[in-house]
Chains A and B, each alone.
Chain A
Amino acid sequence: MTSLAMNKPDSRESSGKREAIVSIRGLSHSFARADGTMVTALHDISLDVSAGEFVCILGRSGHGKTTLLNLIAGFLPTKQGEVRVLGRPVVSPGIDRGVIFQRDAVFPWMRVTDNVDFGLRMRGVKKSERDRIVTKYLGLVGLSSVAKVWPRELSGGMRARVAIAAVFANDPPILLADEPFGALDYVTRRQLQVVLHDLWRSTGKTVLFVTHDVDEAMTLGTRVIVIGNGAIAADCSIDLPMPRTDDVIATEHGLALKHVLLHHIGLE
């Protein structure tokens, strides 16, 4: 099966014909600990992501996934190597890259609508246009009934829906997500995976989704990049049919893929 072929990132050919929307070359990053010693978080990462891909970045905690995402988002300065988005080097956060954060980043001092409306307002979009977009996305994530509510009155899962709606309303070509459902219960997480996946399929955005959960990566991704010890340990396309129900993943092919991922993440 071609999908099981483990390719080095540079020799990837399966989707290499299309223009890369995110392009990373020789990216390394290290931090200074409080005592002054340096820790290498990422080591010589090279990676191309094509438009429309749903890339899951899979790995254990503390192995550099979040650092990689923060570099692409522009939260951290690139010290060594290069990160290009839409052909331009990343220097700061920008509206071409929407971010769904690991922790709750919904502004508590704005009502749900104002949170979803925020990016549009910052860009000076006309009020009538904003209202139309906000109503649409609140409906798509199932929050129409709580539009005028303060975030503190919502559950964690509903606040995650607000974050998703806010990002999609702003319509960035690229979406970065850092374990956005990590703190949610199993049922809520599964529901939100469906919400996000449906929105991705209907909008055709490019998604980079960080997770430590193999099942989540297989449910969502068209491609899974395993990060281990700050380097790319594996890069697999997931060519399972969508939607990825449990039955799809439990096929012989799905289980074979899962074993490969488990192997690279450090189990088995």
Chain B
Amino acid sequence: MAAADPDLPAVAGPVGGDQLPLWRLEIGRFLVAVAGIAIFLAVWTGAAALMPESRLVSPAKAAEDLVANFVFSPRLDVFGLGDAGYGLLMLYTLKNVLIGLSAGAASGILLGVASVFIRPLRAAIDPIVLVMGTVPVLVAAPLFLLWFGIVPFTQILLVAFYSAVMMMLFSQKAVENLDPIYERSAMTFGATLSQRLRHIFIPGSIPELVGGLRITLASAWGLEVFAEILGAPSGIGQAIKALTNLNNVSGLLACVVIVAVVAIATDALLVLLARRITRWAR
């Protein structure tokens, strides 16, 4: 191979813009992001100052409420939630989402991938997916509630159902979007269908599957909380419902913040995990 040519520009290094060292660029971006969040909190605080406490409270007040009621919250007791605080109730929500998502996503991916290869399965699944892919899955929440009652299974089923439909769509797309040249190439090396599935289709579609899983997870939180507000034995949604009846804005905001933090944290975890599996895709 040719020796490095001094006249050629370096291949690596920051692309375009000023020749700032990479770490300074990163720190700059981090500071800008922090400033952005600071502005957001400042606007929120300002708006709260202009409004009565029964409408909006400042982030500091909401945080205070959150800390005070995180583990135990006597005011939720009258609603039959015991003295469990927001944090404990959130555990119920977290558990339901994780169970529902894993069960639903696993079956959805399995069916979606299989349907690409098995024509009759595809013919049966496609119309269902076509309809369910456009339907707001939460319309099923009242029905599930009527059929199965106020038990954890009702909410888990809703999340699982939603995750299955979404991941079926995403996995079908992911396998189909994979450049057919890879399968052709594998065939010239004598790979059988199961080998192609294992070495080509599954690794090749993982980046898209992760993207789909992130979208599904993000929506699953809302779905679970909604199902809990509608009727559940426990969960942060029940706390939200109770606090609504109490007209307690600081508590409501605190609960929404908890859900948001957990949603953001689980998403970040998923990204970290995926990055390890898909190191090849940058």
Contact = CB atoms under 8 A, between A and B. Distances in A.
Do A and B share a complex?
A: yes
Contacts of B186: 118, 122
Contacts of A92: 187
Secondary structure type dominating chain A contacts: loop
B279 interface: yes
A184 B245 CA distance: 69
Interface size class of B (residues with CB under 8 A): 20 to 34
B211 to A, nearest CB: 16
B185 interface: yes
A84 B179 CA distance: 28
Interface string A78-104: 000000000000001111011101010
Nearest to B184: A75
A109 interface: yes
Interface string B246-282: 0000000000000000000000000000000011111
Contacts of A170: 189-190
Interface string B177-220: 00101101111111110010001100110100000000000000
B188 A95 contact: yes
Q: Which of B2, B188, B189, B203 has the most CB atoms of chain A within a 10 A radius of its CB?
A: B188
A122 B195 contact: yes
A187 B8 CA distance: 15
A194 interface: no
Nearest to A102: B181
A151 interface: yes
Given A109-B203, A142-B1, A93 B280 contact: no
B204 A101 contact: no
B185 A105 contact: yes
A214 interface: no
A119 interface: yes
Contacts of B185: 99, 101, 105, 107
A150 B279 CA distance: 9
Contact of A101 (B184, B278, B281): B184
B281 A93 contact: no
A73 interface: yes
B189 A109 contact: no
Nearest to A97: B188
Given A107-B199, A107-B203, A108-B281, 18 more contacts: A93-B184, A93-B188, A94-B188, A95-B190, A99-B185, A101-B184, A101-B185, A107-B200, A109-B203, A109-B204, A109-B206, A109-B278, A118-B189, A122-B186, A122-B191, A122-B195, A151-B280, A170-B189
10 contacts: A73-B188, A93-B187, A99-B184, A99-B185, A99-B188, A107-B200, A110-B203, A110-B280, A122-B199, A151-B280
Interface of A: 73, 75, 92-95, 97-99, 101, 103, 105, 107-111, 118-119, 122-123, 142, 150-152, 166, 170, 187
